[in-house]
Amino acid sequence: MNRTLPSLMLAGGLLAAGNALADGPLLWQDNSLTYLYGKDFQINPEIQQTFTFEHASGWTFGDLFIFVDQINYNSEQDPNLGKNTYYGEISPRLSFGKIFDQKLEFGPISDVLLAATYERGENRNQNYLLGPGFDLKVPGFDYFQLNFYYRKPDGITNNPSGQWQVTPVWSYTIPVGNSDILIDGFMDWVWNNKDATSDRPNDLHANLHFNPQIKYDLGKAMGWSAVKHFYVGIEYDYWKNKYAIDDNGFLGDEILGGTDQNTFSLLAKVHF
């Protein structure tokens, strides 16, 4: 587990180096490291620190987003995960507009894509997602994506056949003086789940995960040209029925409570 953060930094360095070598399908890329210090007001452990590596890139055939979290629990350890854990996602999208060299624009839609995601957490918990994605033209927004998925869980005994998920992703920039405030984030809404009961403990519950960030570009304000952006700000992380476990539901022979997450975190984020 302690190897996670050095691995993230190495991965970031390799991706940054790849930018200089790319002379083909890679159009652009952005890499970042984020530090979060937060307090959860509903579940334990209350205090946690998170280190996140993110990669976003545009290609001649679509786009790619990757992130990996290393989460460290300060106040007390998680009963299932211990003092720290990890979680990551890989999300490639194939653009039909780019692949077929056609403008697939109608109404607010600026492109149609095939969206996929692989989610991986500790203890072999993983999910596979696939479905249509749409880039939308929303006035004022830097970008607005809307992805629809069929979600297949794996790594849980007797897990259900699957669920549906819709994920909007957005970014909005507000100029302030000689710098900017950036508001971005995502929401995952998963539904069509069967309710877990004592005789069907592994059925997963509908859940909602809402995760916006509000950040001020301190690097731009201070004239720091050595980095693309250096943001400071806050993140709000709300997750109803976290990991699709009912807030007062069952898991195996145990009755769980308090799985709703409600966390405010201070953040510092550097792009390179």
Give backbone dihedrals phi and psi of 88, rounded to 5 degrees, phi first.
Answer: -150, 160
Q: Are 118 and 149 in contact (CB under 8 A)?
A: no
Tally of CA atoms within 13 A in the half-sphere of 211 that contains its CB: 13
- Compute the C-alpha angle 198/200/205, nearest 5°: 100
Dihedral sign from CA coordinates of 154, 156, 162, 166: negative
Spacing of C-alpha 19 from chain mean position: 23
- Would you give per-residue pLDDT tens digits along the chain (272 residues)? 444 444 444 444 445 444 444 468 999 999 999 999 998 776 666 788 999 999 999 999 999 999 999 999 876 655 555 688 999 999 999 999 999 999 999 999 999 999 999 999 887 678 999 999 999 999 999 999 999 999 998 865 455 668 899 999 999 999 999 999 999 999 999 987 665 555 555 567 788 999 999 999 999 999 998 889 999 999 999 998 877 777 665 444 444 556 788 889 999 999 99
- Please, what's the b/e burial string for 39-68 (b: 16 or more CB within 10 A of its CB; e: otherwise)? ebeebebeebebbbbbbbbbbeebbebbbb
Q: Would the pTM count as exceeding 0.85?
A: no
